[in-house]
Amino acid sequence: MTSEVRDLLREAGTTLDAAGVASPDHDAAELLAFVLDTSRGQLLLADGPDSEQRQRYAELITRRASREPLQHLTGTTGFRYVDLAVGPGVFTPRPETELLAGWAVEQARMVSATGRAPVVVDLCTGSGAIARSIAHEVPDARVHAVELDEVAHGWAARNLAGTGVELRHGDMADAFDDLAGTVDVIACNPPYIPLEAWESVAVEARDHDPHLALFSGDDGLDAMRVLETRAALLLGPGGVVGAEHADVQGVSAPAVFTGADRWVDVRDHLDLAGRARYLTARLAR
Query: Residue ranges for the binding site for substrate?
Result: 189-192
Task: Kindly tell me the burial class for residue 200, based on how many C-beta atoms sit within 10 Å of its own C-beta (0-12, 13-18, 19 or more).
Answer: exposed
Rounded to whole angstroms, the Cα distance separating 138 from 141 reads: 6
Nearest to 87 by CA among 210, 206, 203: 210
Q: Determine contact, residues 143/169, Cβ cutoff 8 Å.
A: no
Please enumerate, by residue number, every residue annotated as part of a binding site.
147, 189-192
Q: State the binding site for S-adenosyl-L-methionine.
A: 147, 189
Residue 197: phi, psi to the nearest 5? -90, 15
Three-state DSSP state, 193: strand
Which of 55, 26, 103 lies closest to 268 in space, CA to CA? 103
Rg for the chain, CA atoms, rounded: 20
Closest C-alpha to 162, from 87, 89, 82: 82
The three state secondary structure string of 28-75 is HHHHHHHHCCCCHHHHHHCCCCCHHHHHHHHHHHHHHHCCCCHHHHHC
Alpha-carbon span 106 to 112, nearest angstrom? 10
Question: Helix, strand or coil for residue 82?
Answer: strand
Pair 156, 94: CB distance under 8 Å: no
